[in-house]
Amino acid sequence: MADVEPGARFGPYEIIARLGQGGMGTVYRARDTRLNRQVAIKFLADGFQSRFQREAEAISALNHPNICTLYDVGPDYLVMEHVDGEPLKGPVAADEALRLGAQIAGALEAAHQRGILHRDLKPANILVTRPGAGSTSSPQVKLLDFGLAKPMAQDAAADVTQTRDGTIVGTVAYMSPEQAQGQKVDARSDIFSFGATLYELVSGTRAFDGGSMAAVFSSVLRDEPPPLASPLSEIVAKCLTKSPDRRYQTMAEVRAALEATATTTVVPPDRLASLRAAERPSIAVLPFANTSRDADDEYFSDGLSEEIITALTQIAGLKVIARTSAFAFKGKTEDIRQIATSLGVGNILEGSVRRSGTRLRINAQLIQAIDGTQLWAQRYDREFTDVFTVQDEIASEITSALRVKLAWKGEGTRTHEPNAAAHEAYLRGLHQYRVHEPERFTATERFLEQAIELDPEWGDPHSVLAERYLTVAMFGMRPLSDAIPMARREAQRTLELRFTDPTAHAVLGGIAAVHDYDWQASANEFQQALASGAAPPGVHSGYGFYYLLPLGRFDEALEQHDVAIAVDPLNGWWQARRLVILMCAGRYDEAMAVARHAIASGRADHLHYAVLGQCGFFAGGSPDESLAAAEQGLGLASWHAGLAGLVAGMLTGRGEDERARTILAGMRGGMTAQGMVTYHLVRSEIDEALDWYERDIEQRQPLAAHFAAAGFLTPLRASPRWPALARAMNLPDGSRSVPR
């Protein structure tokens, strides 16, 4: 149809301006006079009208934040949500590509769950919104133009030529081979198109291109695009596999792969190549099954699995998934291939342990995840005192099975071999420690101290205790006057026994930062902790959380957590800490989206609720949702004074002063001052908040420096009192800097 002039009316819609034209019609910006809102109207070109009425009802049922909503259908037009944004365009940084890609994947997953294929996914049909001036919101994607969408039950082949008039090159470049050849398509066709879109988002160039329609068509059918130098390369390559059977089979699998790869997306370019090289080969050690008659021997089977993980991490070039993520599958019967996909590895080690008196029987098998074939299997019948030899043998034989032609030092790698009794006490202590329940802390300390008494020259129990004492000090679970000296003592003793221990250096780095305010000493300790190149994930998290976050180096802090998550993707603690950094960086919308997803997935702890409540409040979100989230978080962590202050502050704003006073009166321990800072900040009582903050600093409470650069403390930093407080923490006040 001819162009429509501004001011023209179509039912309740008044045309404002022409936005653009595509192969299926022309799009205008219009005003819905009934609801006084802006909408987009697409007038359909001849030949397209007849298809839409039967499909519009299904498409309009899609309710997803990343899908453009269909409001109305006319005889020859569609009325849609008006999206203020630009078409998806690359190249973008890997972390941004991952964030936007995850949104696209989620939208397609929602459509597929309703039985709807898109069939025309490409960058031009994806808009990236523009946040308003001064907004802290991150850009979001909106999928447009489900104009070729088909219910999956229908044969899509009959309509495959419908997009060729005018947009053939742009559409064919993103079509799956089966769609381009007019064959029947299913969800895997959209997955191919998603891969082509993600490729362009990462690289800025098309995966399949050419000087003519025929050249593009040929490229889609026969060519492999140049490999991407990106952490997303494996996901893209699997999406773009020519055979549908070899692609991801559902968008849910794609989204899971994106979440698992969220770990390597903000790595600096100069480290990317080495990181990718280190990702092959890769392995996860599942918790060995305890087949002993005594169920209490589970501590030993778990401990053996964990120590094999530790032994394997000593092999240069082998990616080893950390204990927390591998143990997430304990007691479950999931398919090995699905476990490997979730963890992002190519190989799985599983086994069993049977202990009878002083005898051990250990069965282990190494499985190649891609097809479930067994690469290696072995049975060990040994005395209990030979357990360390068995661990090293398993690691060595796995190395041979994987053909890792890299350094394996074999016998002599272990710096100290403890006696059997000390080792057993240590494993029992670890078993208690990993439960992550405050009431288990006493048992943890008792067993670890017993291990130290039985073998004073063994550094591992000291290292675990040092980390544990710093954690309880951080959250006020024990007085600083007790916890910090104990953490410092255990870390220093560890280094006396094993000077290169990365965890001990990281503990001292954390103490130097958020307690001693000695940023140079902290930088030195973390530098030594990371020097080996094989630091455990907790070291990377500590560097980001204790040193980089207080200095406002948010992107670097996120990078460190991404490295930690790379080898421990299912560890909720690293994910929660990363979430806190997003909040401190003022990326409230992104932080709330992550928190909501964790809550909906059943993987949330008190920090997710705390972030959702705090971000919602400071971003001007729903007061009811913010308060409900904060109260739920407080219910999970009644000791968390920061949450108590947040809840009490919001309650007073609603006139519920009595409830607020009860909550404030219940605050105890080292976090009380931080809770009062939050309480007065919520009430916009800046001087009172600063009074409590000053008290926090004087007491050397870790959270004072920890949150010094957080976005939600901007009102405090705007006060003329702030420079003196910053100087008290040796933080930059505008005239000085700290070591990088």
> Under a CB-based contact definition with an 8 Å cutoff, are residues 425 and 447 in contact?
yes
Distance CA 180, CA 202 (A): 24
> The tokens of 706 are what?
């920890």
DSSP 156-170: GGGGGGGGHHHHHHH
> The tokens of 608 are what?
């997710």
Would you call 120 a catalytic residue per the annotation?
A: yes
The alpha helices in 48-128, defined as continuous H runs, are: 49-60, 94-113
According to the 3-state scheme, what is the secondary structure of 545-559?
HHHHCCCCCHHHHHH
> Under a CB-based contact definition with an 8 Å cutoff, are residues 502 and 525 in contact?
no
Strand partners, 141: 128
> Under a CB-based contact definition with an 8 Å cutoff, are residues 526 and 509 in contact?
yes
Taking the CA atoms of 205, 211, 215 and 216 in sequence, report the sign of the dihedral they define.
positive
- Residue 634 backbone dihedrals phi, psi, to 5 degrees: -65, -35
Direct distance between the N- and C-terminal alpha carbons of the chain, in angstroms, rounded to an integer:
63
Torsion angle, CA of 471/476/480/482, rounded to 10 degrees? -70
Q: Are strands 289-290 and 347-356 parallel, antiparallel or unpaired?
A: parallel
Choose the catalytic residue: 120, 392, 568, 696: 120
Distance CA 68, CA 145 (A): 8
User: Number of helices (H) and strands (E), helices first, in the chain?
Assistant: 32, 17
Contacts of 297 (CB under 8 A, 6+ apart): 290, 353, 355
Alpha-carbon distance values, 730 to 314, 367, 518, 719 (Å): 38, 52, 7, 18
Contacts of 565 (CB under 8 A, 6+ apart): 262, 263, 537, 571, 574, 575, 578
Among 696, 689, 740, CA closest to 717: 689
Burial 134-147 (b: 16+ CB within 10 A, else e): eebebbbbbbbbbb
Q: Which residues form the catalytic set?
A: 120
